[in-house]
Structure 1
Amino acid sequence: MMILRRAARRMAVVAAAIGVVAGSTVAPPASATATTVVPDGVYGIAFQGDEDSLLTHLSTGEGLPTVLLPAFGRPGYQEWEVVRDSRTTQIIRNLHSGLYLGLGGGVPQQHRPVVATPYPYSWTIRAGSAPDRVLIASAVGDDRLRLDRAPTWTYPPRVDIQLPLDDGSQEWQLTPHE
């Protein structure tokens, strides 16, 4: 049984390596770099797919930071409605507070905190490294600024926008909720 597990693991590593080599030698299809419109619906949004880092709005107050927390079972606090607002952009609204994921006014800039705002804010959602992973970027101003975990050492961790990193560390996992 142990030998079979090792062989399966080794095959997975080889397959992943072949995929990386093939992916690096062939240009990605145009659709891979285009904006992906996620179907309208309600989602849990987890940073890097970590179930202990769910995008969370803790209060109904506007201007308060958006944070990352483990699931805590209170309906709506960690559920987000994604709605298309143009051909290439979408808005993200918290079900509990009814407030939108946004920047609270001003020009988007590196490390600007992501807060709850009463005004819809447009985001572009692009395909990530896996089918259930996406990159979320500000559609206002410098649309290269991506939603990311803030580098500050606070608890709970806050969310801000940052310049793009091409290492997959800014990916989010969208889990549909009914």
Structure 2
Amino acid sequence: MAPVPNGTYAITRPGEQLLTMEGGMSEPKTPVVLLPPTGNPGEQEWQVEELGNGNCTIRNLRSDTYLSFDGEPEMNKPVVGYPEPREWALYQSAQPHTFHIVVPGGPVDGEELALDLSLLRIFPPRTALRPLEVDNQRQAWTFQFME
């Protein structure tokens, strides 16, 4: 049973911040950022598709690129849009419909890596792979089903 049924979602953080693929161009390696609602169709809408192994892919509707990163997972690696699908594991957090988006396959250098905000202090805030903190609600993402 998938934690999130297949479908289209807004993936959010508290404070009306949405996972966003800006620009709408399918340029590979466009940074995935966190923004308030932009009103641009599709750039904050994500298609979640479950795979047979329980992991999922997360694809941006507007750019038709997948939530991904370049090469092997490493701490602080930027999360970007990629034409090829990338698998993610969703770990249920303490809140309903809220999950940690985790690189599957176990620890890298002793840490599991999850989608989180980059340490770069730039606007708009970028996303990157950061050490998973299962008890940190601020690191979890809410999946809001879109009709």
- TM-score normalised by the chain length of structure 2: 0.89
Q: CA deviation at 1:150?
A: 0.9
Partner of 1:142: 107
Instruction: Provide the rounded CA distance (Å) in 1 between the counterparts of 2:56 and 2:97.
Output: 17
Greater share of residues in strand: 2
Where do 5+ consecutive residues of structure 1 fail to align?
A: 1-34
Instruction: Provide the rounded CA distance (Å) in 2 between the counterparts of 1:64 and 1:176.
Output: 24
Partner of 1:46: 12
Instruction: Provide the rounded CA distance (Å) in 2 between the counterparts of 1:132 and 1:50.
Output: 16
1:124 and 2:68 matched: no
8 Å CA contact retained: 1:122, 1:140: no
Count residues in correspondence. 141
8 Å CA contact retained: 2:57, 2:66: yes
Q: How does 1:44-123 map to 2 (within 5 A)?
A: 44-47=10-13, 49-51=14-16, 53-59=17-23, 60=25, 61-104=27-70, 106-123=71-88
The percent of aligned pairs where both chains have the same amino acid is: 35
Residue type of the partner of 1:113?
Answer: P
Partner of 2:128: 160
8 Å CA contact retained: 1:80, 1:94: yes
SS in 2 for 1:75: coil
8 Å CA contact retained: 2:89, 2:101: yes
Task: Point out 4+ residue stretches in structure 1 off by more than 4 angstroms.
Answer: none
Q: CA deviation at 1:107?
A: 1.1
Alignment match of 1:133 (pick from 94, 98, 106): 98
Instruction: Provide the rounded CA distance (Å) in 2 between the counterparts of 1:91 and 1:175.
Output: 16
Greater share of residues in helix: 1
8 Å CA contact retained: 1:40, 1:83: yes
Alignment match of 1:175 (pick from 137, 144, 147): 144
- TM-score normalised by the chain length of structure 1: 0.74
Instruction: Provide the rounded CA distance (Å) in 2 between the counterparts of 1:140 and 1:65.
Output: 24
Instruction: Provide the rounded CA distance (Å) in 2 between the counterparts of 1:113 and 1:138.
Output: 13
Residue type of the partner of 1:128?
Answer: S
RMSD: 1.6
8 Å CA contact retained: 2:67, 2:79: yes
